[in-house]
Amino acid sequence: MAKYKVLIVDDSAVVRRMIRTALASEHDIEVVGAAGDPYQARDLIQKFKPDILTLDIEMPRMDGLTFLKILMDKHPMPVIILSSLSQANSKEALTALEEGAADVLSKPDGPHSLGETGALLGNRIRTILGNSKVAGKRSLFGAKRSTTQPVERGRSNPVPWNSSQIILIGASTGGPPALKTVLTALPADMPGICVVQHMPAFITQAFAERLDTDCALSVKEAADGDYLERGQVLIAPGDYHMTLRRQQERYQVHLNRNPKVCYQRPAVDVLFQSALPYAGKNMVAALLTGMGRDGADGLLELKNKGAHTIGQDEATSVVYGMPRAAAECGAVRETAAIGHIAECIIKGLHTRVGH
């Protein structure tokens, strides 16, 4: 069986060696080369024809973002950003996702984390390369921008949404541009929306801020105890599960660092399952592009409680993992292309007004 070929691009020899060591126990993965900068990477790509790259953001001679843009224009291929993630470079990591990176992960921070890094990175590589749509299709990651013009913030919606209505959305790989497509197509006066996007800590705040600029809705990274207001989107912060509680006539979110679910924190299933006591015809839940099956079980339970459930279709998913798992277990009432999911959400709410 042919192995997946990986090229490491990082200016630190120590980090290159650590990543190589971390992947050494992954028997179906071969590190074919390691480059100290994008110019060396260009030559090694031509020589070894790797299936996937790991790429640092901060490098000499040419930074990782510039190289990523050139690569996606000239020689598109799957790229996983491996960076020392912090608040300072969170916007660069987010831009990398928008420019075509398949995923963003933290670099190993020492020998003690090599095993965990190797297993996580190996899983990402297998899932990404196992989906033929990822390789060579930059448009799925960010070249296609939403053509829907957001409604002016503050514009009222003629539909009298009731206070019990709520929208839940989960996403993973390919989720940032998918969420932008959905949320920019929704009017300002929607019922409250809770979003779980698998994303490392520190990036979620930058992600929420960027969506807030682009959307008619108000978007913010959730804080523990926030009440979910009409016309507002709360994004689960990286490394925190987000749960939902209804306090009299309002929904309130709570954050915790309980164990990971489906290898994720935040996990979509945690949000979905916390909403079960309040689920019914007042709720719409959507599961977008992503690897694995996080959210599928929770979506099924929400559907069984009467919620309208939506899954992104295979054709427009970067990785048709989470929505596939949901469809296969019978959790999805409606399947739609990413450009139509906002419409499905609105229709799902319309049919439930007054319940």
Catalogue the active-site residues. Answer: 172, 198, 294
Exposure letters 91-123 (e unless 16+ CB within 10 A, then b): bbbbbbbbbbbbbbbbbbeeeeebeebbebbbe
Name the amino acid, one letter, at 210: R
Q: CB neighbours of 346 closer than 8 A, spacing ≥ 6?
A: 186, 190
Structure tokens, 261: 């679910």
Q: Which of 264, 258, 280 is nearest to 168 (CA)?
A: 280
| Gap between the Cα atoms of 348 and 354, Å rounded | 13
Helix (H, G, I), strand (E, B) or coil at 224: coil
Q: CB neighbours of 170 closer than 8 A, spacing ≥ 6?
A: 195, 196, 197, 268, 271, 272, 285, 286, 287, 288, 290, 294, 295, 299, 322
CB 103 within 8 A of CB 128: yes
| Gap between the Cα atoms of 58 and 97, Å rounded | 15
Sheet arrangement for strand 241-247: 227-228, 250-256, 241-247
CB atoms under 10 Å from CB of 152, counted, come to: 9
Name the amino acid, one letter, at 226: D
Q: Give the chain's length.
A: 355
* Residue 22 CA to its chain's centroid (Å): 24
Question: Radius of gyration (Cα) for the chain, nearest Å?
Answer: 20
DSSP symbol at 151 = P
Q: Which of 268, 216, 277, 217 is nearest to 245 (CA)?
A: 277
